[in-house]
Structure formats: C-alpha cells, structure tokens
Homo-oligomer: A and B are copies of this chain.
Amino acid sequence: MKVPAKTPLRTELTELPLDQVRTLLAVVDEGTFDAAAAALHVTPSAVSQRVKALEQRTGRVLLVRTKPVRPTESGTVIVRFARQLARLERDARTELGMNDAGDTTRVSIAVNADSLATWFLTALTRVPDESRLCFELRREDESRTATLLREGLVMAAVTSSPDPVAGCSVRSLGRMRYLAAASPEFAERHLGGPLGDALARAPVMTFDRSDDLQDAFVRALRRGRTGASPLRHHIPTSEGFLAAVTAGLGWGMIPEVQAEPLLKTGRLVQLAPRRPVDVPVYWQQWKLDSPALAAVTEAVTATAAQALRA
C-alpha cells in the first residue's frame, strides 16, 4: 500500500492489531463511539480503549473528536487500509465459496457526470454476469473524487484528474471531445458579429460553479480576455444541461457523442467547428489484487477505448 512519504506507516501496518483497525473503521462509519459500540456489540469504553491503543501504537492522533468524529490524515490512511482489508476478505470468501447465497460483492465507483451519461453504463453491462457484482455508483466531480478514493469510500473513479491519489494507480482512458453548441434560434438571436465577443455577452449554460469549460473556450477565442458572460445558468445534470442548450436557455460545451445526433437533425448548431475541446479521462483505482475490481477495470478500459478518442 502506497502512503504519502511524510507518513511512513507502511512497515507498521502489518503490526496493527486488526480488531483495533476494524474498531477505528466502525467509529468513522458510525460517527460516534457509542454507535460503533452498538454496531460491534461491545461497550463504548472498549471502543475508546481500542482507538487509544491504536493511537499509541502509531504515535499519531487518528480521530478528531467532533460529532460526528472525523479521521485525521493519519486516521484516513488506516481507514482506507481497513476497507481494503474488508474487500480482500470478501474476495477470499467468494473464491472459497464461503458466502451465503445472498452475499454479493459490492463495487463502489465515482464517475463524473458526462461519462455516466454517455459511455460508462455500457461498460458495466459488459462485466461478466458470473462475477455477481453489485455496482454502487457515485456521481461526483474531481475535487470530491480524490477524497472518496483517499478515504476508501470508492474503489475506483472515472475522473479528469491525472493526479494519483495515495494508494491508487491511474491510467488514461482517452479523451472526451466537447463541441460548443447552441440552438439555431439562440444563435440567430445572440451570436451575430465576432463569435468571441458575442459569447462574452450571450447567456451561457454551466454545469455548476466550478465548471470552467465554457469560460476557457471563450478566453481561448478572445486570446485571454474575459470569459463567458455573467448571464449564466447552472444545470447540474449532463442530460439537463443538454436539454437546456437545445431549448435555447444558453449556449454550452456539449460532449460530441451527445451533440452529434442533434447537429445532424438541425436542433443544434456548432459554434466554431474547428475548435473542439478535448478533456482527458482517467481511471483511478485502489492498488489491490481484487478479481472484482479487475473485471470492472477490464470492461471499463475496453469500452472507453471504443467510446473515447485516443
């Protein structure tokens, strides 16, 4: 397990008493010492003692005692370790046929909205049935994805961030192409004259406050001068964003695969056809030898190779 250089826990991890590690995880998941005690069927004082013992052994504060408790940076490393441990145990039980009929292997994945709306579900349908996996998708943006991976709440993520999270490996899946588009009526009404200047004034769609794609496009057109208009609507779903652009609420950057059928039928027009914007897409996953994760990774990389640009 890779951990940040400044917290050399690697060698110590093998010496961590697993009951203490599992107790720490329960406290973080349940939020309080009392709730963790109830979940583990032990007394609150036993929970408290185990966490203290683990803190003494690691020489670090592992929990911030707020309500609910929060793991510290060192605590987060151990919580991720605990989740990976649980995963390995479940995989081993599956391979040994020790699971009950109702037992399933849950694979939690964070996916950015445009990938989920376009190619990602196809990948899930290609995971072989006999893996008997249950998928738990979380639709999250880049900032949150790193936290989810770091805390071990997802095992893998489709993200535009190439920065590997501690304990994860990262590989490129390809590039998603975006086209600037608007409805014909919108273009007629708002986009006369030089395009860059018109776009600096015309109503614009953005996904949310952190979506910079439209601004970056306008800045590039205008050689660095100010971005898109302050007249902006935030529509935080991929499909809603597309529907709002098609309805003429604003112009916006649309994934090529969503835009193409609408461009063909004339319901959208492309602005600046020679200026597509390509956004790289990455697969980040726990460094973990899990058959479940391997099956998903294979389906995801194969589907992305067909759906995304190289």
Contact = CB atoms under 8 A, between A and B. Distances in A.
A308 interface: no
A247 interface: yes
B116 A237 contact: yes
Given A121-B235, A135-B234, 19 more contacts: A102-B229, A102-B231, A116-B237, A117-B237, A117-B239, A124-B233, A124-B249, A125-B247, A125-B248, A132-B231, A134-B231, A134-B233, A135-B233, A137-B235, A137-B240, A138-B234, A139-B236, A139-B237, A237-B238
Interface of A: 66, 102, 104, 113, 116-117, 121-122, 124-125, 132, 134-139, 203, 229-240, 243-244, 247-249
A157 to B, nearest CB: 14
Nearest to A103: B230
A232 B138 contact: no
A196 to B, nearest CB: 17
A136 B230 contact: no
A218 to B, nearest CB: 15
Contact of A104 (B116, B125, B231, B236): B231
Contact of A237 (B104, B124, B135, B237): B237
Contacts of A248: 125
A136 B247 contact: no
Contacts of A232: 134
A234 B109 CA distance: 10
Nearest to A204: B134
Closest 8 interchain pairs by CB?
A136-B234, A135-B233, A239-B239, A125-B247, A139-B236, A121-B243, A137-B235, A104-B231
Contacts of A240: 116-117, 121, 137, 139
Given A117-B237, A125-B249, A249-B124, A104 B230 contact: yes
Nearest to A120: B240
Nearest to A244: B121
Contacts of A139: 236-237, 240
15 contacts: A102-B231, A117-B237, A121-B243, A122-B247, A125-B247, A125-B248, A134-B232, A135-B233, A136-B234, A137-B233, A137-B234, A137-B235, A138-B234, A237-B237, A239-B239
